[in-house]
Amino acid sequence: MISARGLTRSFRTRTGPVQAVRGMEFEVGAGEIVGFLGPNGAGKTTTVRMLSTLLAPSGGTAEVAGFDIVADRDRVRAHIGMVSQAGGTGSDHRVGDELRTQARLYGMTRARAEERAGSLIEEFQLTDLQKRHVRTLSGGQRRRLDIAMGLVHRPRVLFLDEPTAGLDPQARADLWDHVRGLRERQGMTLLLTTHYLEEADLLCDRVLVIDGGRVVAADTPEALKSAVGGDLVVLTTDQPGDTARTVSRMFPDADLDTRPGSVQFHLRNAQSHLPELLRGLDLAGVRLASVAVTRPSLDDVFLGLTGRSLGEAPADGGAQAADPAPDSAAAPDDGPAGGQHGADRPEPALEVG
């Protein structure tokens, strides 16, 4: 449903060129929920803006819903919805009017616009809010409206740029349910960007780990985590020496870290080895105070791939993070289509730089 081949994008800035995206290669299948996970400045938003036709690529190609993002821009737009990063316009309109206007902008008759707005209001639990002014909504309510706005024209693909940024955990989980519902009820394909490990882990079928403008790994969250090198096992004991000797006899490759009151090491599928491990320690006469098994996180995955944690600045942060005044070519891309709904407005301005 989405494929990118060698997609690149650079920006001219006063301090020189910034290579935001450096050859993205990936596929997203129909009905998948795929997350771009990466640190600030990794190129996630720039890629989504290219795929949603808001920004022209500097090089490479991509197809969305079977259409080329440059040659078939209008047909791509007809099949996608885009929910841009939180920020919103602070619109003074009422929730229901906002949706009806959006539907009319897509060329629906008054009656069809009414019907479409009504069904989205119901689907996104906005019934009690439809007379409220948009600017008075809470963050979570506002994001539900943003998504509903992006769906007015029944797109097959929805792009979500940091859909839950700034939301509290309850509102975040609520939004995830809505996103899952779109896939389950309508078979929609969803590509989202996120900083949140938990979001990538719990919501996405597959995660594309992005660093320095490239995909550095792509797989299910489980597969990515199990490739890291196993679970962390921590044995708390007052016999660390005996414990370490027994563990190394049983698992000769284990990276043992022996401390005064504990022994820890990594082990693949540690849960399934636990009975054997406990039996072995028991037979060796070792008394354990506790056993803890911790699964690797997606941050461990990122660390393993790049040597940095997701929260750290990129190693080539100079060029990547340089974000002075955008060059003249970059400026128009936030033009009339800007605001919170991005490509979901018909005919957004396209940067042709």
Ligand X SMILES: Nc1ncnc2c1ncn2[C@@H]1O[C@H](COP(=O)(O)OP(=O)(O)OP(=O)(O)O)[C@@H](O)[C@H]1O
State phi, psi for 41 to the nearest 5 degrees.
80, 10
Interacting positions 195-224 with ligand X (CB under 6 A): 195
Q: Could you say which DSSP state residue 262 is in?
A: E
Q: Could you say which DSSP state residue 129 is in?
A: G
Stretch of 11-19, 89-97, 219-227, 303-311 lying at the interface with ligand X (CB under 6 A): 11-19
CB-nearer residue toward ligand X: 40 or 101: 40
CB-based contact 21:8 (threshold 8 Å): yes
Q: Does 296 bind ligand X (CB under 6 A)?
A: no
Query: Min. distance of Cβ 7 from ligand X in angstroms?
Result: 12
Which residue is it, tokens 């080329």? 68
Q: Does 43 bind ligand X (CB under 6 A)?
A: yes
Q: Does 251 bind ligand X (CB under 6 A)?
A: no
Q: Does 323 bind ligand X (CB under 6 A)?
A: yes
Q: Does 42 bind ligand X (CB under 6 A)?
A: yes
Query: Min. distance of Cβ 248 from ligand X in angstroms?
Result: 42
Contacts of 188 by beta carbon, 8 Å cutoff, 6+ apart? 31, 155, 156, 157, 158, 182
With CB under 6 A as the rule, give the number of residues binding ligand X.
Answer: 19
Interacting positions 181-200 with ligand X (CB under 6 A): 193, 195
Question: Across-strand partners of 330?
Answer: none
CB-based contact 235:259 (threshold 8 Å): no
Token pair for 279: 């039996």
Stretch of 26-34, 70-78, 93-101, 322-330 lying at the interface with ligand X (CB under 6 A): 322-330
Q: Does 40 bind ligand X (CB under 6 A)?
A: yes
| Euclidean distance between CA atoms 107 and 103, whole angstroms | 7
On the CB side of 48, how many CA atoms lie within 13 Å of its CA?
29
Applying CB under 6 A, the residues found at the interface with ligand X are 11, 13, 18, 20, 38, 40-46, 193, 195, 320-321, 323, 326, 330
